[in-house]
Structure 1
Amino acid sequence: MNNTFNINRFGLLLKRQWLDFGKIYLISFGVLIGILALFYSISLTDNSLKNLSSNTLNFRYPLFLITGFLFASIIANSYFMHLGQNPKAVINILIPASSTEKFLSAIFYTVIIAIPSYLLCFYVIDLAFVSSVRTTHTLITSYNDYQGKKVVIDNLAYFFSTETVRDFYPFYYVPLLINGVFLLGSIFFKSFHYVKTAISLMAFGVLWVASTIFVMKELTNNTVWVGNHYWQDEKNIVFLMSLIGILLTLAFWFISFIRLKEKEA
């Protein structure tokens, strides 16, 4: 099979892959709905609403990050894991589709389908629970900013309407980076894909943070900053981190594609 792209063949591949991957996706999505609904139910009981405060809905942020990471990583890690099992690997290799089409189908299901469906699921559940709270409670605080203007905050705002979510827009690449890491792990390791990938990710993260701190300390120790203050601007640092994250994502995807081609060689 040559490595060209054919739209008709790609469409047939998507239908075929859904028969295998669809089961994993639907089970994971069902578990996700149950976990989110459970946490909202536990956190928004009658007792907690009696002592309603500005921190009542703050549980949503760690819940969003943790469940989002788990869902995105599990979905990505499940797509190519069958390549570590010889009988299923042979069947996958014999599928009449190019490596490009197979990799794009992985991106389609683990990124284009999985990530928006998670966001929609979280928003719908948040909308349902917060709407029920808003029908019986209100919680608004206000303060004057440094210009003397009055700022009004709705502490029962829907999750994706909060300032915290809007402030993190430079890190919207993170789900793609998680996808790239675990997609590579699913095709790189032959067994225990998720555990090995997670351990590798933690080791890489510790090494990266430690080396960054060491280098910055060595460069700035007993020195005085003069001249251009580019690196003292938080926006410039965030931009550099986002750029590195995007480049790493593309690198992980590219390596995953190469590994997929090697499997079929």
Structure 2
Amino acid sequence: MAKNKTIRVESFDIVLYSQNDADFISLTDMARYRDKERTNYIIQNWLRTRNAIDFCGLWEQINNPDFKRIEFDAFRNESGSNSFTLTPQRWIESTNAIGIVSKSGRYGGTFAHRDIAFEFASWISPEFKLYLITEFQRLKADENDRLKLEWNLQRTLAKVNYHIHTDAIKENIIPSELTKQQISFVYASEADMLNVALFGTTAQEWRVLNPEKEGNIRDYAEIEQLVVLSNMESINAVLIRQGLSQSERLIQLNSIAITQMKSLLKNKQLKKL
């Protein structure tokens, strides 16, 4: 729901609201600058003019694909006649206009998109229009300052959350030292041996523990784990050529995985500071 805001122009409070990234300003409040009692009369007097109809019609053609051109042309042809009258409600209902809005209730009245409202302000008084634009720009500048403050706050919170997340990563993805049973076990494939060195479990064991997940353990690895895994594959090839047994290679690879994971997480943390 759009929230009303107020700016003060020449001792008059002007209500406005934002909706779908568009600002609407109260023509009713603006009309009080000319006549505090007969605001509807002031708005109708302006809207019936040829210039107002031309401007509002052009705005609708640019911004409103559902604008009814035929009805607009009828109003345009009638404008200028002494007997011609046009209320905001009639304009909206007949042409399907969206640039002018009629609202009921405590904070109701006739509102218009800021482009149209500024045009109405020109008709009221050039001086009034200048003050209106000045106060409107001041309001938007204040809003932008608040958005910047909120963005900085969110950025700070993101940094804090990053450190919390990093601590969680340290607890969950830095490999643990292998047990004697894991070291002595003969693994069916080199891939499983690498999985145990880095993740602490074989692919089959992971699938048993995670029956609801598709894919394999490596599909759910963090980017740091994948980097270390790639390094381990190269190192394992060297160790094989050196003639080390699987258990000996497993011990070394597990130690390398622990060291590299700690190093990667530490460097990542430093870059975020």
Q: Place the TM-score, normalised by the shorter chain, in its bin.
A: under 0.3
Relative to total residues, which structure has the larger helix share, 1 or 2? 1
Q: TM-score, normalised by structure 1?
A: 0.21
Q: TM-score, normalised by structure 2?
A: 0.21
Relative to total residues, which structure has the larger strand share, 1 or 2? 2
Rg larger for: 2
